[in-house]
Amino acid sequence: MKTETASRLLRLNRKFYLDFAGQFSETRTPGQPGLGRILPYIPDFCRLLDVGCGNGRLALWLDAKGIRAKYVGVDSSEELLAHARDMASALKDVSAEFVQADISGPNWTNALPHREYDVVFSISLLHHIPSFELRSRLFLDFAGLLRPGGLLIVATWQFLASPRMRRKIVPWDRIGLPDDDLEQGDYLLDWKRGGVGYRYCHLVDEGELRLLAEHAGLDLLDMFRSDGKEGNLNLYGVMKSAS
């Protein structure tokens, strides 16, 4: 994918979350069934990084499960982070702080308060990252933030598994972008809650998730689908760094 195309898609999604931060936050629930399956992997008293934290719903879920953690959430949307900070006042067992940073940039990790984490989460993020090259670089960043033996936990949206979501797919000419500028698995989805907007989404399947883990030198411990009415709306991966 050309650099200018990737930049344009990132701007598109940035605008979407700027315009619809409130409406989008209302659709996010604190927990989802797939998270229950990864709960045993999360150690108590851990230092945890949530990349693409949005409104901080993961911190709320961890707190509800009684996980005692030092949580850092990072997101590019200051509007969603405002929702996260409001939510954080209700936390009991989780100590949370939030950082605004553009995770698509090369130096986003410099904004983080710590250089090493027991667990790094990437929930509902990868499908918004354009180009395999950029997704692969992000995985290297994740791996570099893990302590020896630390865990990367990923969940990526399998929107093609939902007939309702498939109906939201619209042609690329809706935003004036030629099809041949995109990579296989790239889609444009519309949004009609509180106005009309568009999001770039990429389908990260099992094969790509394996490739990303291998490229980052991570050991894939578990991979499964969960969530949604059919139990297949998200693809989860649990990966471990070298000890």
Residues 122-129 have a mean pLDDT of 94
List domains and CATH numbers for the chain.
3-144+189-216+229-240 (3.40.50.150)
| Predicted TM-score (pTM) of this structure | 0.92
C-alpha distances (whole Å) from 96 to each of 48, 152, 167, 188 are 10, 19, 37, 33
pLDDT of residue 86 exceeding 60, the answer is yes
Q: How many CB atoms lie within 10 A of CB 242?
A: 11
The pLDDT score that the predictor gives to residue 243 is 78
Q: What is the mean pLDDT of the chain?
A: 92
Query: Which DSSP symbol is given to 183?
Result: P
Instruction: Note the pLDDT tens digit of each residue in 12-59.
Output: 998 887 887 666 655 555 568 899 999 999 999 999 999 999 889 999
Distance CA 75, CA 78 (A): 7
Instruction: Note the pLDDT tens digit of each residue in 182-229.
Output: 999 999 999 888 888 899 999 999 999 999 999 999 999 999 999 988
Record the tokens describing residue 21, joined without a space. 């931060």
The pLDDT score that the predictor gives to residue 47 is 97
Closest to 38 measured CA to CA, from 103, 145, 123: 123
Judging by beta carbons within 10 Å of its beta carbon (0-12, 13-18, 19+), is residue 168 exposed, middle or buried? Answer: middle
Tallying the residues shown for the chain, one arrives at: 243
pLDDT band at 76 (very low <50, low <70, confident <90, very high): confident
Is the model more confident about 172 or about 54? 172
Judging by beta carbons within 10 Å of its beta carbon (0-12, 13-18, 19+), is residue 233 exposed, middle or buried? Answer: buried
Angle 230-199-151 from CA coordinates, rounded to 5°: 60
- Dihedral sign for Cα atoms in the order 32, 34, 40, 43: negative
The pLDDT score that the predictor gives to residue 21 is 67
The pLDDT score that the predictor gives to residue 195 is 86
pLDDT of residue 120 exceeding 80, the answer is yes
Distance CA 212, CA 112 (A): 23
